Amino acid sequence: MTSRRTVLGSVLGGTAAAVALPGAAEAATPDAASGKAAPWRLRNRMDSDGAWAGFLHGQDLLWHRLPTLWYEGPFLGDGRLGSMVYRDPDTGGVRFTVQHGEVQDHRPEFGSGWGTARLPVGHLTLDPVGTITAVDWRLSLWDAELTGTITTDKGTLTLAALIHDGVLAARVKATGDEAVRWTFHPEEAVSPRKIQEAPPAGYVPNPPWTTRTTGDVEQVLQALVGGGQTATAHRRTGDTLLLTVAHSHPSDTRAGELSLKKIQRAPSYTALRSRHTGWWHAFHRKSFVSFPDQRLQSFHWIQLYKVASASRAGGPVMATSGPWLEPTPWPAVWWNLNVQLEYWLIHGSNHLELDSLVSTLRQNQEQLAANVPAAYRSDSAGIGRSSDMFAERAVGQPGTGAEVGDLTWALHNAWLSYRHTMDEGLLRDTIHPLLSRAVNYYWHFLQPGDDGRLHLPSTLSPEYPVVPPRDTNYDLSLIRWGCTALLEITERLGIDDPLRARWQEILTRLTPHPVDDNGFMIGAETPYAQSHRHYSHLLMVYPLYLVNWDQPEQRELIEKSVVRWHALTGAHRGYSYTGAASMYAMMENGDTALSYLKKFFDPTTRYPCRANTHYTEAGPVIETPLSASQSLHDMLCQSWGGVIRVFPAVPSAWADVTLHDFRTQGAFLVSAVRKAGVTRFVRVRSLAGEPLVIRHGLGDGRLTAVLDDGRAARVGVVAPGTVSVDLPKGREVLLHTGPRPDLTVAPVAVTEPGAAWGLP
């Protein structure tokens, strides 16, 4: 197990060994007579359903115009089944798309774009008798339910819709001369990539769907050339429509059986809604954040709703569009940035129950080994740029210009999940075996040079459009992180792994990151010389933090590298701005971080955030708005290098901020309140008993550190403003300076008003 001395020695990025000093100027202040302070507890104003409903009501999406495109309308989902709601271009009614994250083709010989692509299912239309003249809709985040009215020249339709446990439920009532008319429209089971290119040679279309009626249940059955079946089942009961989708492989009948039973046993709308809102109400209450920019604050809460609608642990890993499939060149899972960015916000927001990335890695270890060339399968693993939900995609070899590092980067996400939970089972069962294989694959190709260093032959720095160089910074940074993590893992688990010497040798001999006068290069002899939307050459800065702001000698290099990256314009996309925002947050520059983040929302940019907070380039790409929420996290609380940093990069315009139960590395829950530009208190709860080192941001003055039983905590000074605190598992500590402040957790007042998302 990592010792406290090891942690403290690394908190400043290795620049110097920090020593925990007793007492000194920053020490706990106990009561003089008893050694205890007065009892304390947080006053949480967000402790009732009413408080939550009221707060989230102000973050809801609204529509007073009928959305005409998918990126304008409401969206529903439960991690598998998904629906987007907008005007149907064919009927003029309202379209509810019906898509499912597990519905895919099964012909890997045609690649992930065609052979194992996500496949369309169909869509419902709600077709009024009259012509739609107005809508008044609200997507409630608290209830995860769409409600409202559709007004026509014949009357009114009153609507409520949700998705829960694989069932899309919609309840519609008509008044005047209106009527409720639902139609399900199956869609051709062909890759959405058809918008960009023709099918590959030898590709045979899937057969047409068939229909079946059993009692009051109508089914659409889709057989697949590669084996398997997709089945959609729906029925009308009074004013309620219920629909479900099932997919089976290799069975070509199982999906039909499952969907029929599911819809026959589905409860009423009221009963389903009760279960649904119970889940969502518990979900929202796991953490809380509030800051005074209304539009950004609302955006952040919508992203939490979005990721919970798109992913659940044990379910399919998110494809680039999540569960909402639309025409796209990318109907698969992309592993060279997309999947990583999709999951970062689940950690700080305390929502590890959404981690389908880690469960996908755990469940598909044999496939990840099979992805490498046969000669290396005994000890290696990898994945190509894109795959299906089962991670099936071959990876090329270093020396051929192949993109090699994507599995290692995905495993960094798994490492973050470990660090935020300290779940050693995740280390033992998933990260250690897979990361060892990923590093082994590199080891087979590392070659000593005349300088005595280990060098990597040509590999691709993702999306940089030049001949792949040797010693790409993308791969070197991942190799360094991987070997460092493996050494820590085996020490933590007490494993005498015979590969430890190899990992240490790699760390000792690996060539340094290529650098020139403009900062980090793409690779050896390949400068960063043309606009690049990806930050593959800067992973050592973010998110790996191998080169970081706590290393004073690296600050100039970091800053000029980021400046150079954004100085060459033209190729930048939404995640170029969210990535820069997070990097400036690491530099503790909140104002610059916010300025880059706001470029993502600027409607004059080529690819801005859309009306419903989704994002599109040539097709839907879900990772960018989700990564924008991580940029907000990075402004408000960071935890890397063994240190928790409270309010490290709050923009100067945000005088008031509230955090509650924000999860950090080391498995801590942090609550903190900032008022009038001053941090008033920090409360930390330990979930795992790990060493606590915190840069508290409380400013000058004698620090008081009080445990939850009123006793003074043992505190050591690590650096100015940074302390270590002895905090056992299950205990809490309160940090403040001066007299004990008001310990209220509550929403902050909005000082920068903004319109609701949607079409208000």
Q: What is the pLDDT of residues 570-587, one digit of tens each?
A: 999 999 999 999 999 999
CATH number of 4-46+653-745: 2.60.40
Smallest CA-to-CA distance from 412 within 314, 313, 482, 473 is with 482
The answer on pLDDT for 33 being more than 60 is no
Q: Which CATH class is domain 294-643?
A: mainly alpha
Q: What are residue 712's DSSP bridge partners?
A: 706
> What is the C-alpha separation between 61 and 293, in angstroms, rounded?
16
pLDDT in tens, 386-433: 999 999 999 999 999 999 999 999 999 999 999 999 999 999 999 999
Angle, CA of 60, 64 and 69, to the nearest 5° = 85
Q: What are residue 175's DSSP bridge partners?
A: 156
> What's the half-sphere exposure (Cβ side, CA atoms, 13 Å) at 178?
26
If one compares 475 and 3, the residue with the highest pLDDT of the two is: 475
Q: Which CATH class is domain 49-268?
A: mainly beta
The answer on pLDDT for 30 being more than 90 is no
pLDDT of residue 700: 86
Task: Characterize the bridge pairing of strands 229-237 and 21-22.
Answer: unpaired
pLDDT in tens, 381-394: 999 999 999 999 99
If one compares 17 and 549, the residue with the highest pLDDT of the two is: 549
pLDDT of residue 38: 74
Lowest-confidence region among 22-36, 59-73, 218-232, 498-512: 22-36
Confidence of residue 22 (pLDDT cuts 50, 70, 90): very low
Q: 101 and 322 in contact (C-beta within 8 Å)?
A: yes
> What average pLDDT does range 592-607 have in this prediction?
96
The answer on pLDDT for 19 being more than 50 is no
If one compares 700 and 282, the residue with the highest pLDDT of the two is: 282
> What's the half-sphere exposure (Cβ side, CA atoms, 13 Å) at 644?
29
> What is the C-alpha separation between 382 and 365, in angstroms, rounded?
10
Residue spans of the domains in the chain: they are 4-46+653-745, 49-268, 294-643
Please report, rounded to a whole number, the percentage of residues in the chain having pLDDT higher than 70. 95
> What is the C-alpha separation between 10 and 724, in angstroms, rounded?
13
Kindly tell me the burial class for residue 250, based on how many C-beta atoms sit within 10 Å of its own C-beta (0-12, 13-18, 19 or more). exposed
| Residue 650 tokens, joined | 């709050």
Q: 509 and 545 in contact (C-beta within 8 Å)?
A: no
Q: Write b or e for each residue in 166-191: b if 16 or more Cβ atoms lie within 10 A of its Cβ, otherwise e.
A: bbbbbbbebeeebebebebebbebbb
> What is the C-alpha separation between 245 and 325, in angstroms, rounded?
14
pLDDT of residue 244: 98
pLDDT in tens, 326-336: 999 999 999 99
Task: Characterize the bridge pairing of strands 643-646 and 692-695.
Answer: parallel
pLDDT of residue 205: 97
Per the prediction, the chain carries an average pLDDT of 94
The answer on pLDDT for 21 being more than 90 is no
> What is the C-alpha separation between 174 and 182, in angstroms, rounded?
13
DSSP per residue over 255-283, as a string? HHHHHHHHHHH---HHHHHHHHHHHHHHH
> What is the C-alpha separation between 7 and 388, in angstroms, rounded?
39
> What average pLDDT does range 255-278 have in this prediction?
98
The answer on pLDDT for 9 being more than 90 is no
Confidence of residue 550 (pLDDT cuts 50, 70, 90): very high
pLDDT of residue 467: 82
pTM beyond 0.85: the answer is yes
